[in-house]
Chains A and B, each alone.
Chain A
Amino acid sequence: MFRTKTRDEIGFQILNNGLLLIVLIVILLPLWRVVMTSFTPIDVFTRVGVPFAMWPWEWSVAAYEQLLGQPSILRATLNSVVITLSGCALSLTLTVPLAYALSTRTLPGRGVIATLILFTFLFHPGLIPNYLLVTKLGLQNNILAIIVPPAVSVYNTLVMKAFFEGIPDEIKEAARMDGANDLQILWKVILPLSIPILLTIGLFYSVYFWNEFFSPILYLNDAKLQPLPVLLRNILASASISEYVEYDVASAASIDSLKSASVMLTMLPMLLVYPWIQRYFTKGTLVGAVKE
């Protein structure tokens, strides 16, 4: 940035980038450990434990083969996909109109709606009143109990509202002059301009639903309905892994490899989607909304 290359400056850059390098290593090391553990062959594991690097030994995909052969894992994955996709769709369907209404300055009653929503953001009556509502609606063992109660996030709504407000009024007025009503303005003018924010908020909702494990534990007693994170938690926490995954003396993978491989499988969709969407929030969208 500056041309004054003094000795201090060089020293500073070494220290500064050294610090960033340490951060990088500290974050990658635990993830690396999980990858290594999942691929460690069982004979290496019993002989020397998990090696720090794999190259002197051979890799083994036995843990993954064993997991992917389990009906329980496949069913949990399918449940997670269903919860994530339907939850994200429902959330966006309910969030977009609310953000649109709040961003329309001339809308009578906008202040009332905003106050109504803000209050729920500031005051939470706690777990039990929600639990009583969901059970009274008879939603136990129904994925609606997972996707409907948390469908709208106030924070996400406000981020989206700030983005809608950033679209120049002239564009909306021009469409109105051409005879478009509010519905057509939203559909044909605002939404096409809002792809980045829809992707970002859609990602936030998807991540939320993919990761959600507490409400399934609370409301889904039927093991057949449980999503991947619940199964993962059972695999990780249980004293006897064979309850959830076939495991016996003949197993080709160690218990730790199986645990790590299940962590990897649960993480995988996140790792695949993340690089595509992260450019939207490293710069721009979110920062603008935060400053709003």
Chain B
Amino acid sequence: MSHYATEPAIRVPAHPLRAREKIEITLSERARRLAKAMWKHRWIYLLVTPTLIYYLVFKYIPLYNAQIAFKDFQPLAGVEGSPWVGFKFFETFINGFYFSQLITNTVFFSGARLILGMPIAIILALALYETRFMFFRSLVQTVSYLPHFLSWVIMFGILLMMFSPGSGLINDVIKAFGGKPIAFLTSPDWFRVVVIGSDIWKETGWSTIIYLAALLSISPELHEAAAVDGASRLQRIWNISLPGILPVVVLVTLLRLGNILEGGFNQLFVLYSLPVYSVGDIIDTWVYRQGILDFQFSLATAVGLFKGVIGLILIVVSDKVARRIAGRGLY
């Protein structure tokens, strides 16, 4: 699956003179060499053991617990003791009232981030790359990376100060022009706009990093040669810069497509409220309410597992496509 997995555990010298010797290596000799190599690195094994235990406990036990998706989980009976029910909860979800709404909302948010967010990030990266004022470039970089580090709770506060009907800046402007204040955060008509817009505001700067790196790795000689041939700025952007970053654009697009079921839990958990459930509820927020608030553990696990399996398939397929057309995998 990964490029690590194909690494041979022991490297046998490939020197032609030793080819004969290589064939003659017996099983016991290999075992002896393996033991020797393992002994040589004994400290690494000791050092990495706590991390591996952490992985087994906190990543693989949950995997084992996920079996309750196929059981009717009763807290007193525990994970093992609860009776098997097969795919009952998966069917409940897929045939349920909320299925299409949840999938629509989730894909809408991740799709809009991709379709609107990515071109804006590419344009910003190009603008940063093309500016002649290095100080201005680093100023804009510094400022635009900052929101990436703010949590969605802080973002909620900032959004309130911008959009609240009482004293938000935008509503102050609307009122100054004689309009009626709009409850942006609780109106189903505006909620999605606020969600997508605030995500773009927060993450665009940070996502320029990868495009800027790709732009800076294009050989300056290409630009110089084109300039000598009389190409204008826009022609150079169109014919050199954009083709130069195309592989990265393809990779990022595939990665986003692989994560299409990630609707942005942290953001929506903070921002959404009862009046906007119809346009703001995503798979993850629904799982939280069903599982933690309503104690429907098996149903919530089934939905989580459904999302996990589709996510796994999507990311593995995206990776295969990326290896084929961009010559590089996603992981």
Contacts and interface: CB of A to CB of B under 8 A. Distances in A.
B44 A100 contact: yes
B161 A127 contact: no
B219 to A, nearest CB: 14
B266 interface: yes
B128 interface: yes
Interface string A1-25: 1101000110011001101100110
B97 interface: no
Interface stretch (A58-66, A166-174, A284-292): A284-292
B312 A122 contact: yes
Contacts of A127: 284, 287-288, 291-292, 300, 304
Given A125-B308, A282-B145, A115 B1 contact: yes
Contact of A286 (B52, B65, B143, B209): B209
A152 B1 contact: no
Nearest to B11: A106
Interface of A: 1-2, 4, 8-9, 12-13, 16-17, 19-20, 23-24, 26-31, 33-34, 37, 45, 49-50, 52, 93-95, 97-98, 100-102, 104-111, 113-133, 148-149, 151-152, 181-183, 186, 207, 210-214, 218, 229-230, 232-233, 236-237, 256, 259-260, 262-263, 266-267, 270, 274-275, 278, 281-282, 286-287, 290-291
B249 interface: no
Nearest to B36: A108
B140 A106 contact: no
The residue in A12, A114, A123 that gathers the most chain B C-beta atoms within 10 A of its C-beta is A123
B217 A291 contact: yes
Given A213-B153, A232-B157, A281-B209, 17 more contacts: A23-B140, A102-B4, A107-B44, A118-B4, A118-B331, A119-B1, A122-B316, A126-B304, A127-B300, A132-B79, A182-B41, A210-B151, A214-B266, A233-B270, A236-B153, A256-B167, A259-B161
Interface string B193-222: 000000001000100011001000100000
B77 to A, nearest CB: 13
Interface string B293-325: 000010011011101110110011000000000
A141 B70 CA distance: 30
Interface of B: 1-2, 4-7, 9-11, 34, 37-38, 40-45, 47-48, 50-52, 54-55, 57-66, 68, 79, 123-124, 127-128, 130-133, 136-147, 149-154, 156-162, 164, 166-167, 169, 172, 201, 205, 209-210, 213, 217, 223-224, 227, 232-234, 265-266, 269-270, 284, 287-288, 291-292, 297, 300-301, 303-305, 307-309, 311-312, 315-316, 331
B161 A34 contact: yes
A237 B300 CA distance: 26
A229 B167 contact: no
Contacts of A148: 54, 58
Contacts, number: 295
Given A33-B162, A183-B43, A126 B303 contact: yes
B54 A263 contact: no
Given A106-B41, A108-B37, A266-B153, A113 B52 contact: yes
A8 B233 contact: yes
A70 B227 CA distance: 63
Contacts of A152: 51, 54-55
Given A123-B308, A125-B308, A27 B48 contact: no
Contact of B50 (A1, A9, A94): A94
Which of B147, B172, B311 has the most chain A CB atoms inside 10 A of its CB? B172
B62 A125 contact: yes
A129 B301 contact: yes
Nearest to A15: B127
Given A27-B144, A115-B1, A286-B209, A132 B297 contact: yes
A229 to B, nearest CB: 5
25 contacts: A1-B132, A9-B233, A17-B131, A24-B139, A28-B143, A30-B169, A30-B201, A94-B51, A98-B48, A100-B48, A101-B44, A113-B48, A118-B4, A124-B304, A125-B304, A126-B305, A127-B292, A128-B287, A129-B301, A182-B41, A211-B154, A259-B157, A263-B157, A263-B161, A281-B145
A60 B128 CA distance: 38
A114 B157 contact: no
A263 B154 contact: yes
A23 B145 CA distance: 12
- What are the 6 closest A-B residue pairs judged by CB atoms, nearest first? A126-B304, A211-B151, A263-B157, A114-B4, A129-B65, A129-B62
Contact of A214 (B159, B166, B269): B269
A34 B151 contact: no
A212 B154 CA distance: 11
B311 A124 contact: yes
A126 B213 contact: no
Nearest to A130: B62
A128 B61 contact: no
Contacts of B136: 17, 20
Among B37, B127, B161, B308: residue with most chain A CB under 10 A? B161
Nearest to B50: A94
Contacts of A260: 157, 161
A101 B146 CA distance: 33
A123 to B, nearest CB: 5
B145 A278 contact: yes
A211 B270 CA distance: 13
B259 to A, nearest CB: 11
Contact of B300 (A97, A124, A128, A207): A128
